[in-house]
Amino acid sequence: MRKIFSKHETFSLVSSDSVYEQDYENQILRFSAQLFPEFNCRKFKTKVNSLYGNCIPDLVLIHKDYKDWYIVEVELEHHSLNFHVLDQVQKMYHGEYGEKHLKYLTENNADFDETKLRQLIRQKPHTVVIVPSSKNSWKESLYPYQTKIMTIQVWKNEKQEALLQVDGDELLQFRQELISVLEIDPTIPRLLRVKNMANIPDSGIIQVEISGSRTDWRIQNFGHGKWLNPDGKSPLPDNDNGIFYLLRSESGEYSMEAKK
């Protein structure tokens, strides 16, 4: 039996064979502010449709500044990768997210900004699996879905007070001034597609500093996407990967830099 000793207490590892998945999930929710300080962690018990069938995830992580989001599958260590976990992740990764999911989240979480959340869920979410024991053997199978695997172990003392031990992959960390990732549109190279749409106004012109010069960019919406279109000749520097970062200073001024 693995144990943790403090001066006055002893904590023992809780075996996932002895708990229900719902209890394990509730512990994650209880400690979510410490586990995911940049995100709001909420239940996400609503059906997701995909080309591979339907699924119901467990949790969702919404970045507090609406820069990104994750769909979460909570598993116990004895669950089968091939007959359960992989199937769930595939459906979540290829899922279709829209108004019904926005309605579910806003009706159950009054603190969400509906306008920003609507734009956020138009972009594809990441997937993450949370398990109570290390699952390095799952990494290769889940790699095509860019799924992160977090190990969260629950320890309890005689009073049933809990400690959580965390290992595994970390969620994407944003620099404070990052507003959005931008990608050159392959069909119209002068346009930059906005990946984090909730952080950009719906219309108008923003001034962006590039290599020390001020440039004007018009915000344009087409279908379910948002683009930046430069006024005049494109001022973009050469960048082999076609990816740029849109940044904003504490004073509210925009700047852009190429991804190295």
Please give the model's pTM, rounded to 2 decimal places: 0.71
pLDDT computed for residue 177 by the predictor: 72
* Residue 73 sits in the same domain as residue 150: yes
Decide if 243 is inside a domain: yes
The domain boundary, picked from 138, 168, 198, lies at: 168
* Residue 94 sits in the same domain as residue 149: yes
* Residue 154 sits in the same domain as residue 209: no
* Residue 192 sits in the same domain as residue 251: yes
* Residue 135 sits in the same domain as residue 229: no
Give the C-alpha separation, 144 to 69, whole Å.
18
Instruction: Find tokens 């995100």 and name the residue.
Output: 39
Taking the CA of residue 189 as centre, how many other CA atoms within 13 Å lie in the half-sphere pointing to its CB? 10
* Residue 50 sits in the same domain as residue 111: yes
Q: Which whole-number Å values give the CA distances from 128 to 1, 124, 227, 250, in the listed order?
A: 29, 13, 28, 31
The domain boundary, picked from 127, 149, 168, lies at: 168
The domain boundary, picked from 102, 137, 168, lies at: 168
Give the C-alpha separation, 76 to 53, whole Å.
22
CATH number at residue 85: 3.40.1350
Cβ–Cβ < 8 Å for 132, 16: yes
pLDDT computed for residue 235 by the predictor: 87
DSSP string, 144-209: GGT-EEEEEEEEE-TT--EEEEEEEPPPPP--TTEEEEEEE-SSSTT-EEESSGGGS-SSSEEEEE
Q: Which domain holds residue 162?
A: 3-168
* Residue 93 sits in the same domain as residue 206: no
Residue by residue, pLDDT tens for the chain (260 residues) are: 677 887 788 988 888 777 788 889 999 999 999 999 989 999 999 999 999 999 999 999 999 888 889 999 998 877 678 778 999 999 999 999 999 999 999 998 888 999 889 988 988 899 999 998 888 889 899 999 989 999 999 888 888 888 899 998 888 766 557 889 999 999 998 999 999 988 888 889 999 988 778 899 999 998 889 999 999 888 888 777 889 999 887 667 888 888 87
Decide if 173 is inside a domain: no
pLDDT computed for residue 151 by the predictor: 92
pLDDT computed for residue 1 by the predictor: 63
Q: For residue 160, what are the contacts with CB-CB under 8 A and spacing of at least 6?
A: none
pLDDT computed for residue 250 by the predictor: 66
